[in-house]
Structure 1
Amino acid sequence: MGTLGDGLDQAVQKAFTRPIPKSAGAQMRYLVKQHKGRTKAVAELLGISQRTVERYVKNQIKKPRKDLAARMETEVKKRWQPQIRAKAKERAATATGIIIDTRARLGYTAPIGSTDQDRIRHLTVALPPQYAARLFDAQEAGANDQQLQQIAAEALKEVYFQDNGRRAGQLEEVRFTNIEHVDFEL
């Protein structure tokens, strides 16, 4: 995934009520359980042999390589507490919205004579629930980072630049590029 997709995943992970399994064996057992006991599927997912998966399950191997440990942790986090994850997304999409904290180059297209020059800005903005819903729906539909960036730009246009319709009514397009950092909070 990309910068925005990873940020959305991390925001949802903050809602977890229990930590993910810590040991390599426990993580591997969890992944095998999620794949209905098929060690071959887990091996293909992680890019290792089926026998290696079986060794981790039996605690014959306890210390994975750094790259494998990172892949295991990522895959466990993707599947961990799906009901908690769904409730957090639902709450953000219907009631609370989502907060975006970003440092990026922002500019806009506006009538001649306005100060529409792109510049680096640090913004922390509370986005309404409909934009949280659009971001999560697009992410689940497999949207790439560019598409998520476009949705975030539309949200920033409405909420930050136009102040929910109270100013800058002639603003046409907001450019949201060169993202240095982005963080979301539910």
Structure 2
Amino acid sequence: MGIIGDSLDRAVQAVFTRPIPKSAGAQMRALVKAEKGSTRAVAVRLGVSQRTVERYLTGQIRRPRAELAQRLADEVRKVWQPRVQQRARRQAAATTGIIVETRARFGFTAAAGSTDDARMRWITQALPPPHAGRLLDAHAAGASDRQLRQVLADGLREVYFQAGGSRALGLAEVELTDIEQVAIEF
């Protein structure tokens, strides 16, 4: 995924109430449970054979190679505590919103005579629930990084640059490029 999608994933992982399992066997069991008992689906997900997954489950293999260990941990993070993840997303989209901290280049499409030169800005802004909901829905739907950038730029345009309709009313579009850093918190 892209920088914004990865930041959303990290934000969701920050709300976990328990750490992910440490051992490879426990991680495999968590994945098999998430796949409703299908070792074949886990094997496809990890890019290994079904027999390899079964060996981890029985304890015949205990330590995966570094590449597989990373893929295994990443996949477990995606499925770990799904109800906690859903609750955090629902709450952000309905009541609390999210906090976005970014350093990126912002450019504008605005009325003639205004300054629309793109420049680097460091912005920390609370996005209210409607904008947070759009961003989270786009991420859940599998939107590309370019689409997530546009959803985030639209939210920042309305909340940060236009201050909810009290200024910069002629500002038509905000372009978000050259992202150096994005941190999102629930």
Report the TM-score, using the length of structure 2 for normalisation: 0.96
Within a 5 Å distance, the mapping from 1:166-185 to structure 2 comes to: 166-185=166-185
Flag structure 2 segments of 5+ consecutive residues without an equivalent.
none
Q: Deviations over 1:55-86 (max 9, x none)?
A: 11122222211211111111111111111111
Task: For residue 164 of structure 1, give the secondary structure of its aligned residue in structure 2.
Answer: helix
Within a 5 Å distance, the mapping from 1:1-186 to structure 2 comes to: 1-186=1-186
Task: For residue 9 of structure 1, give the secondary structure of its aligned residue in structure 2.
Answer: helix
State the Cα distance separating 1:144 from its structure 2 match: 1.0
Q: Deviations over 1:95-153 (max 9, x none)?
A: 11111111111111112222211011111110110011101111122211111111100
Distance between the aligned counterparts of 1:159 and 1:36, measured in 2? Answer: 42
State the Cα distance separating 1:5 from its structure 2 match: 1.2
Task: For residue 158 of structure 1, give the secondary structure of its aligned residue in structure 2.
Answer: helix
Task: For residue 5 of structure 1, give the secondary structure of its aligned residue in structure 2.
Answer: helix
Task: For residue 171 of structure 2, give the secondary structure of its aligned residue in structure 1.
Answer: coil
Distance between the aligned counterparts of 2:178 and 2:67, measured in 1? Answer: 28
State the Cα distance separating 1:37 from its structure 2 match: 2.1
Task: For residue 170 of structure 1, give the secondary structure of its aligned residue in structure 2.
Answer: coil
State the Cα distance separating 1:160 from its structure 2 match: 1.1
Amino acid at match of 1:42: V
Q: Deviations over 1:24-64 (max 9, x none)?
A: 11101111122222212211110111121111112222221
Distance between the aligned counterparts of 1:165 and 1:38, measured in 2? Answer: 52
Query: Which 4+ runs in 1 deviate beyond 4 A?
Result: none
Distance between the aligned counterparts of 2:166 and 2:66, measured in 1? Answer: 51
RMSD: 1.1
Distance between the aligned counterparts of 2:145 and 2:156, measured in 1? Answer: 16
Amino acid at match of 2:132: A
Amino acid at match of 2:2: G
Distance between the aligned counterparts of 2:85 and 2:176, measured in 1? Answer: 27
State the Cα distance separating 1:155 from its structure 2 match: 0.6
Distance between the aligned counterparts of 2:173 and 2:36, measured in 1? Answer: 48
